[in-house]
Amino acid sequence: MANTVFIRVHKDNTVDLYLPEDEAMVVSSVVSGMEQIAESCRGKRLVAFIATSDVHLSTHTIPVRNRQKILQAIPYTMEDDLIGDIQDFHFAIPARLPSNDVPTCAIARARLDAILAFLDEHRLHPQVIIAEVLLLPCAVDEWNIIIEEQESTVQTAQYTGFSIDTDNLETYLDMAIQEAGEQLPTQLNIIDARLPGHDTFLEDSGFDAITVAHKPVEAGLLPLLVSHYHDDAGINLLQGEYAPRKIATQSYKKWYPAAGLLGLILAIQAISAIIDYVGISNESDRLTQQIKQVFQQALPDVQRMVDPKNQMQQQLKALKSNSQGASAGFLPILAKFARAMQDDKNIGLKGLNYRNGRLDIEMTINDLQALEKLKQSMTQAGLKVDIRSATVQGKAVFARLRIQEVG
């Protein structure tokens, strides 16, 4: 990792810098300012770590080995896992795929664009961006728990994990363990990166089959993360359209004359090919225009024509699915949810989204105990309830639920 520097980008746009050649040096932009951070990174390979809460992790079985085809299929396999249009997300996979089980890291394009814009504003151009949860090695049947002042991270496998407010970590961790089923861990590795003065977190798991091991953080969390980084670590988000541009160096410039001559030869060949092509291009254009007219008449709301046949088939399938299944599934689920929430007058609905037999709900509720009680009521009513996230906001808890009929 010679000539490489590491930064940790926090959600409040503060940055920590770590220089491996000076192991005692961790610089915060809060103290030194972004100008010093940028100066220390000048001319070096830059690796950036971002918060776990910025990404969504999952693993899907894709029965192909071609990387390009995997990337085309991934958005549709994750469609039910994400709230929002899949076009609004960027998807990344590991550089090496040992099997058909493909770990995937998804991030909202708006968030990734904001991170890159912030770094670019301060002349910081990373070659790698990785979510922090993917850096620590995670043994089978063990969970890693990174505790910080405001937000904590739980890593349940090498490519899976979630983040939660530290104040609610113990409650949410207990719920996650109870729902783990066959994936129940045998050991919890506690990495407490908080400032001194806090009580020891979770001296006992409360489960006979689970031990608790406290791992020391002597030099701080950033050096610990860097110590586990290597070129194949985690999933680099800067791939595909977000891949960093490579800058030509002086060593390449000696090839410019030869490249220019090659370009001239290719241009001559291209002109010759164009002359042969013109004879059939007019007919192709005429047919394409006719297809476009028919496509626009049939699907006036679709702005982009890529594969007319498949697009029309997908639209027809969607119309049939919506007409046959939407009303049959949505109303019974909504009715059961409404009956379950009658006992709690402090529930506030923020959003509903029904798709493929699943109802996604955004809501506010008094506390985690009330949330768990609501979940139990819906479970007794014959619903399968998945708490996607639960975050304390002021005096209430903002939660995202996914509800569907059992079976």
Is the domain of 359 the same as that of 399? Answer: yes
Give residue 248's pLDDT.
40
pLDDT digits (tens, 9 = 90+) for 177-197: 888 878 889 899 999 888 888
Looking at the domain assignment, is residue 361 inside a domain? yes
Measured distance CA(289)–CA(50) in Å, rounded: 47
Looking at the domain assignment, is residue 48 inside a domain? no
In which region does residue 67 sit, left (phi positive, over 0), alpha (psi from -120 to 50) or beta (all else)? alpha
Is the domain of 358 the same as that of 382? Answer: yes
Looking at the domain assignment, is residue 356 inside a domain? yes
Give residue 230's pLDDT.
86
Is the domain of 295 the same as that of 330? Answer: no
Looking at the domain assignment, is residue 200 inside a domain? no
* Average pLDDT taken over every residue of the chain: 84
Query: What's 378's domain CATH number?
Result: 3.30.1360.100
- Counting the structural domains of the chain, the total is 2
The three-class DSSP label of residue 249 is coil
Measured distance CA(19)–CA(39) in Å, rounded: 12
pLDDT digits (tens, 9 = 90+) for 120-168: 999 999 999 999 999 888 888 899 999 998 899 999 888 888 899 988 9
> Could you list the residue range(s) of the whole structural domain that residue 393 is in?
317-405
Give residue 23's pLDDT.
57
Is the domain of 289 the same as that of 323? Answer: no
| Whether pLDDT at 220 is above 50 | yes
Rounded to two decimals, the pTM is 0.59
Query: Where a domain ends, among 241, 274, 305?
Result: 305
Which of 389, 26, 6 lies closest to 234 in space, CA to CA?
6
Mean pLDDT value of segment 209-235: 85
Looking at the domain assignment, is residue 370 inside a domain? yes
What spatial distance separates the first Cα and last Cα of the chain, rounded to whole Å? 51
